[in-house]
Homo-oligomer: A and B are copies of this chain.
Amino acid sequence: MGLLEFIKDYFLGFWDYETPKVMVVKNKKLGVIYRGVQFLVITYFIWYVFISQKAYQDSETRPESSVYTKMKGTALQGDHVLDMVEYVRPLEGGDVISTILRREVTHNQRQGTCAEHFTVPSANCSKDADCISGEVNVDGNGQRTGRCVPYYNQTFKTCEIQTWCPIEDYAAIWEPALAEAINFTVYIKNAIHFPKFKVLRGNIKPNKRNGQKYLNKCHYNEKKQPYCPIFRLGYIAEQAREKFSELCRTGGVIGVFINWKCDLDLDPSECTPTYSFRRLDLRKNLPSSGYNFRFAKYYSKDGEEFRTLIKAFGIRLDVIVHGHAGRFSIIPTIINTVTAMTSVGICSIICDWIMLTFIDKNDIYSDRKFDDDSKVPSPSQPLTVPIEFTISYGSNHSDLSEGVAL
């Protein structure tokens, strides 16, 4: 046999079709188990993977998102009218927006020296020697001058400090909460973009006839007004299962979740967002829970700077956008179908194991399944595993000459 013949043989052999030999076992118990497992696997794939998880779709999460927020409403604080510019921080309208609900205001603070608050450790004194000049207490309000002075209009004395005077702990005026804030509204405009699918969606329905008019009047309500992007603070607090009065007292951070689930195989108008609200900061049993921040307004008079210090308790809204889009695609469909078919093959492994372990006649089956090369019989041995042609001997056998030599 020359090299040429070998190459020819190899080339012809290349076009042969190879398929594993299979043993058929006529056993009802095994058959039922076998088909049962197959059924479970196929059901899992069809129901869970294909229908529920939509594995036939190419998907994209985390769309590019743009959030624009604007708060509206006025409240009366004594004689002072507060409008949005005063109670909203920051004013640029990004995805995090805070509203002030209650303020502790310290008016007319100036750089100077005044008495430290009496609750600060080692602040109480009777003579100057009790106060170390230059010392800065971490919990205190400033640097000590080394003098012991009367505590404002009281009879006891505390160490004098250099700081913004008077100190907040002493001079802050606790304003009542802005009860009207429950009716403040926040307008949330959200546009998303799925770059893979080139799909752009917004949470405001384009409405040519009465768009602006509608937006001026509507308030979001899950059931009645699901397409209105204007949310009452009271509604948000209610949905987040928080008491508004409690929020006014301590402040809090509330997440506004915008969820986009878009099946792009359906009509684009089906791709609308749902909203949910949840308090984000922990509160139970926690010291310093809630949300507050300080800021100041600076003024100048006769060259001297003074400020109004404001400790603000409020609601911080964090707008968080989740998105998922899917559209039919051939590659994931093929891959998941192939995976499903492969997994069905796993049934054989499980059934084999059952067959070879639990069914009584396993020895015989295993012998027939496993062709042991140490037991190749001498030609004279008659015990063989032949394969009979069982079905339709009378069928057309004329083409058998092509490949099979009987």
Contact = CB atoms under 8 A, between A and B. Distances in A.
A372 B342 contact: no
A48 B383 CA distance: 48
B374 A26 contact: yes
A64 B319 CA distance: 11
Interface in A84-142: 84-86, 89-94, 96, 98, 111, 136, 138-142
B385 A371 contact: yes
A385 B376 contact: yes
Which of A1, A48, A212, A345 has the largest count of B CB atoms less than 10 A from its CB?
A: A345
Nearest to A299: B300
A381 B383 CA distance: 9
Interface stretch (A148-156, A236-244, A355-363): A355-363
A7 interface: no
14 contacts: A18-B34, A20-B369, A21-B369, A68-B291, A72-B138, A81-B143, A85-B295, A89-B92, A202-B286, A211-B285, A212-B287, A368-B387, A381-B384, A383-B388
Interface string A362-406: 011101111111111111111111111111100111011011111
A74 interface: yes
Contacts of A284: 206
A267 interface: no
Q: How many copies does the complex hold?
A: 3
Interface string A324-359: 000000010000001001110110110110010000
B92 A91 contact: no
A179 B48 CA distance: 58
**From DSSP, what is the main secondary structure of chain A's interface residues?**
mixed
Interface string A288-302: 100101111111110
A211 B23 contact: no
Contacts of A390: 367, 372, 375
A207 B163 CA distance: 33
Interface stretch (A169-177, A220-228, A274-282): A274-282
A376 B215 CA distance: 82
A348 B138 contact: no
